[in-house]
Homo-oligomer: A and B are copies of this chain.
Amino acid sequence: MGTASETKISILEAAIHYAREFGLEVLSIGKLANIVGMSKSGLFAHFNSKENLQIQILEHASELFTKKIFKPAIKRPRGIPRIRAIFDNWLKWANSAEKGGCIFVAASIEFDDIPGKVRDYLHGVQKIWISSIEQSAELAIEAGDFRKDTNCEQFAFELHSIMLGFHHFNRLLDDPKAKKRTMVAFDNLIERYKVGVSK
């Protein structure tokens, strides 16, 4: 089982790499078989259908996202330090791809009009992610870092929007200041909700 699982992980990582650049829809099991140098029937044994493959790619990306962004951040103290760690890790994730950017941004645009299991999975996993941001804002209120009247849903919307802005300015617009703009926007956001700062 160990080896099988490792094989599968390496297939999924190759698939993520491809999907970040070209999208999930164009990645057939046949094409993936070519990329990883396996037989098509061998890959069918792993994934059964293109839809299953797409979902397993997103599940694996989601595990990576949690591991790289959220898990290291919860070691930081509750409140602004933890939120800043989430932001820093997230920006590193969004910026790390030489090609393709964040698979969730690309897949969201690809599947927002295509009802089915892939869209449902994307919808679910991003709702969870947004709830985690909301929760980190609630903890920041409890820790005395954020004002008591902070609307945590609004905070999560605005933080998420900034990261989408980074993706757009960095990738399509090739803006060399994209990262700086994103960091300033984050600081502005924190300033707005921080205790001791007027609205």
Chain A contact residues, majority secondary structure: helix
Copies of chain A in the complex: 2
Which chain B residue shows the least CB distance to A169?
B157
A121 CB → nearest B CB, Å: 11
Assess whether B123 is in contact with A174, with CB atoms less than 8 Å apart.
yes
B-contacting residues, A61-115, CB 8 Å: 99-101, 105-106, 108-113
Interface size on A, residues (CB 8 A): 49
A173 CB → nearest B CB, Å: 6
**A→B interface (CB under 8 Å):** 21-23, 99-101, 105-106, 108-113, 119, 122-123, 126-127, 130, 151, 153-154, 157-158, 160-162, 164-166, 168-169, 171-174, 177-178, 181-182, 184-185, 188, 191-192, 197-199
